[in-house]
Amino acid sequence: MGGGPWWGSSDKEQCVETVGKASAAGINLIDTAPGYGFGQSEEIVGKAIVGRRDEVLISTKCGLWWEDGRGTEFFELDGRKVRRCLEPDTIRREIEMSLRRLGVGCIDIYFTHWQSVEPGFTPIDKTMNCLMDLKRQGLIKAIGASNVSVAHLSEYGKYGKLDVIQEKYSILDRRIEAELLPFCIENNIAVMAYSPMEQGLLTGSIDMDYKPDPASARAGIPWIKRENRRRVLDMLEAWGGLVKKYGCTLSQLVLACTAGRRGITHVLCGARKPGHIAETAAAANITLEQADADRMWADVAALGEPI
Over the stretch 219-273, which tens digit does the pLDDT of each residue have? 889 999 999 999 999 999 999 999 999 999 999 999 999 999 999 999 999 888 8
Q: Between the CA of residue 276 and those of 14, 17, 40, 271, what are the distances in Å?
A: 11, 11, 20, 6
Nearest to 49 by CA among 27, 71, 81: 27
Residue 290 located in a structural domain: no
Euclidean distance between CA atoms 192 and 187, whole angstroms: 15
Strand locations in 97-196, DSSP E? 107-112, 140-146, 164-168, 190-194
Residue 60 located in a structural domain: yes
Where residue 275 falls among pLDDT bands split at 50, 70, 90? confident
Domain ranges, residue 137: 4-162
Residue 65 located in a structural domain: yes
pLDDT for the residue 271: 86
pLDDT for the residue 215: 77
Over the stretch 48-102, which tens digit does the pLDDT of each residue have? 999 999 999 999 999 999 999 999 999 999 899 999 999 999 999 999 999 999 9
Over the stretch 208-233, which tens digit does the pLDDT of each residue have? 999 988 877 788 899 999 999 999 99
pLDDT at 5 over 70: no
pLDDT at 4 over 80: no
Q: Which parts of 164-225 fold into alpha helices (H)?
A: 180-186
29-31 and 57-62 as β-strands: parallel, antiparallel, unpaired? parallel
Catalytic site includes residue 36 = yes
Q: Between the CA of residue 198 and those of 49, 78, 127, 193, 284, what are the distances in Å?
A: 28, 24, 31, 11, 19
Amino acid letter, residue 19: V
Q: Which of 36, 110, 156, 169 is catalytic?
A: 36
Cα 235 to its chain centre, rounded Å, is 25
Three-state SS for 107-125 is: EEEEEECCCCCCCCCCCHH
Euclidean distance between CA atoms 262 and 169, whole angstroms: 13
Residue 216 located in a structural domain: no
Mean pLDDT along residues 156-176: 97
For residue 25, the domain's CATH number is: 3.20.20.100
The mean pLDDT value of the chain amounts to: 94
Domains: count for the chain: 1
